[in-house]
Amino acid sequence: MSKGTLFDKVWDLHTVGTLPSGQTQLFIGLHLIHEVTSPQAFAMLRERKIKVLYPERTVATVDHIVPTENQARPFADSLAEEMIQALEKNTEENNIRFFNTHSGNQGIVHVIAPEQGLTQPGMTIACGDSHTSTHGAFGAIAFGIGTSQVRDVLASQTLSLTKLKVRKIEVNGDLAPGVYAKDVILHIIRKLGVKGGVGYAYEYSGTTFEKMSMEERMTLCNMSIEGGARCGYVNPDDVTYNYLKDKDFAPKGEKWEEAIKWWNSLRSDEDAEYDDVVTFSASDIEPTVTWGITPGQGIGISESLPILDELSESDREIALQAFEYMQLQPGESLKGTPIDVCFVGSCTNGRISDLREAAKFAKGHKVAQNVKAFIVPGSERVKQQAEAEGLHNIFINAGFEWREPGCSMCLAMNPDKLQGSQISASSSNRNFKGRQGSAQGRTLLMSPAMVVAAAINGKVADVRDLEVN
Ligand code: SF4
């Protein structure tokens, strides 16, 4: 029923036709690829002797498998080396732009496309990675796809998709100090559930989002998928345009003026009709930390862990599993839980503003003994900028390791892995069983500032109690 929303407008403008199944054949403006989900897609094209239809609309980077300690080639891990070589070959053979390591432009796919201005309002964007929803921060319709769909986009630049419903999520008010976009999205997922967004696109509106920077909006949209929504977006505004202006791939001169007019016309209309509307108040949100095995199992830092009898039947079952796996007890405080590893990075929170905020709290403190803490910039550009600002020295002096860019311990497809049942404070986006490289590894999701607070205290702590030097 959604009518007059940005989602509706962008969807309709990219509709090539309606398929006999009733699905839409949707044109994809920008296709982002990386080393993990593209090799089989290219192999399938090769088998059928099909060429990439619009190579100029595809951009590649390498992120999941790159080591963060030493990126000299060949990589020590032969499988990782094989994967990067396959991507090098596939992009070269098909004339696809590839941001390789040491190019100055490499990084996590959802960090590099926005920072270079590839991601723009009104686009349809697809990538073989769930967190493609990040790009919705610009008012784009962006979603993750599977390997066979990567093949379809390479071959036809289109996808067959069922149109989503639109839920407006309105949050109003100012966030308290120590509360970030990460806390807002963890709060939303906690309230609406990890499956609450299935079949929906989330439109984030309200004064809280209007005041957010683009990087905060990216953190927000990034985790839409963790709430079950295929994509999430914010209507483009001056914040969007100020961020995009003069970026490498952004329109220039007269085209820039035309683009702004065009982008403004795509904003959801005042009288747009939504399939659902949900409202939250920013003042109800405090630093939020997950305690369980889904991103929906989160609590405010001053709350206690849930009591099983107080949960619904469906929540109780997954809570039981979570308590057992996480070695936590119902009703206890999460604050004070000892931490083994602290990780700041990922496509959720590995941007320059995240590192600035983390450095603000790390400055003049020391990482607690027995805690391994490391910072992984989201891209080469983020790393370069952080070093220009001296942030790396703040981290190193505090006892953090300063690494090369990549996905790192978000997914642990590289050597950065938890060991045994180690527990991590992580600025990433998924806390599933075994997500960080050990089958028994445990993950607590939180904002970068809260990760730093955990690193310094050696246990889960409230960043609002940390002295800022
Ligand atoms: S940082 Fe994590 S979620 Fe993001 S693209 Fe990499 S592995 Fe996927």
Domains of the chain are 6-161 (3.30.499.10), 165-284 (3.40.1060.10), 288-465 (3.30.499.10)
HSE, CB side, 13 Å, CA atoms: give it for residue 75: 19
pLDDT tens per residue, range 285-335: 999 999 999 999 999 999 999 999 999 998 999 999 999 999 999 999 999
Predicted local distance difference test score (pLDDT) of residue 3? 80
Give yes or no for a contact between 169 and 204, defined as CB atoms under 8 angstroms apart. Answer: yes
110 CA: nearest ligand 1 atom: 5
**Minimal-distance CA residue to ligand 1 atom 4:** 347
Cα separation of 119 and 125, whole Å? Answer: 8
Q: Is 347 annotated as a binding residue?
A: yes
> Quick one: tokens of 322?
């979570």
Helix (H) or strand (E) holding 325: helix 313-326
Q: Is 346 in the pocket of ligand 1 (CB under 6 A)?
A: yes
Residue among 238, 247, 179 nearest 214 (CA): 238
pLDDT band at 375; cut points 50, 70, 90: very high
The single-letter code of the amino acid at 234 is: V
The CA–CA distances, whole Å, from 171 to 181, 210, 213, 229, 343 equal: 11, 10, 15, 17, 28
pLDDT tens per residue, range 23-39: 999 999 999 999 999 99
Residue among 409, 393, 422 nearest 350 (CA): 409
Mutating to test ligand 1, I would choose from 407, 417, 429 the residue with most ligand atoms within 8 A of its C-beta, which is 407
Mutating to test ligand 1, I would choose from 36, 131, 344 the residue with most ligand atoms within 8 A of its C-beta, which is 131
The predicted model scores a pTM of 0.97
Residue among 125, 123, 150 nearest 50 (CA): 150
The CA–CA distances, whole Å, from 70 to 103, 369, 419 equal: 15, 25, 20
Q: Is 131 in the pocket of ligand 1 (CB under 6 A)?
A: yes
Give yes or no for a contact between 418 and 441, defined as CB atoms under 8 angstroms apart. Answer: yes
Cα separation of 100 and 111, whole Å? Answer: 14
Give yes or no for a contact between 72 and 406, defined as CB atoms under 8 angstroms apart. Answer: no
Q: Is 127 annotated as a binding residue?
A: no
Predicted local distance difference test score (pLDDT) of residue 327? 98
pLDDT-above-90 percentage for the chain: 99
Three-state DSSP at 126 gives strand
pLDDT reading at 422 higher than 80? yes
pLDDT tens per residue, range 34-60: 999 999 999 999 999 999 999 999 999
Alpha carbon distance, N-terminus to C-terminus of the chain: 52
378 CA: nearest ligand 1 atom: 1
pLDDT band at 2; cut points 50, 70, 90: low
Q: Is 429 in the pocket of ligand 1 (CB under 6 A)?
A: yes
pLDDT band at 122; cut points 50, 70, 90: very high
pLDDT reading at 123 higher than 60? yes
> Quick one: tokens of 440?
């028994």
pLDDT tens per residue, range 340-357: 999 999 999 999 999 999
The phi, psi pair for 39, rounded to 5°, reads -60, -45
Q: Is 410 in the pocket of ligand 1 (CB under 6 A)?
A: yes
350 CA: nearest ligand 1 atom: 1
pLDDT reading at 241 higher than 80? yes
Give yes or no for a contact between 197 and 189, defined as CB atoms under 8 angstroms apart. Answer: no
pLDDT reading at 65 higher than 90? yes
**Minimal-distance CA residue to ligand 1 atom 2:** 410
Work out the mean pLDDT of the chain and round it to a whole number. Answer: 97
Predicted local distance difference test score (pLDDT) of residue 1? 57
pLDDT tens per residue, range 255-291: 999 999 999 999 999 999 999 999 999 999 999 999 9
Q: Is 347 in the pocket of ligand 1 (CB under 6 A)?
A: yes
Three-state DSSP at 365 gives coil
Mutating to test ligand 1, I would choose from 218, 222, 347, 445 the residue with most ligand atoms within 8 A of its C-beta, which is 347
Ordered DSSP codes for 144-211: E--HHHHHHHHHHSEEEEPPPEEEEEEEESPPPTT--HHHHHHHHHHHH-TTTTTTEEEEEESHHHHT
Q: Is 221 annotated as a binding residue?
A: no
Q: Is 216 in the pocket of ligand 1 (CB under 6 A)?
A: no
Residue 19 CA to ligand 1 center (angstroms) comes to 32
pLDDT tens per residue, range 104-121: 999 999 999 999 999 999
Residue 222 CA to ligand 1 center (angstroms) comes to 10
Residue 37 CA to ligand 1 center (angstroms) comes to 12
346 CA: nearest ligand 1 atom: 1
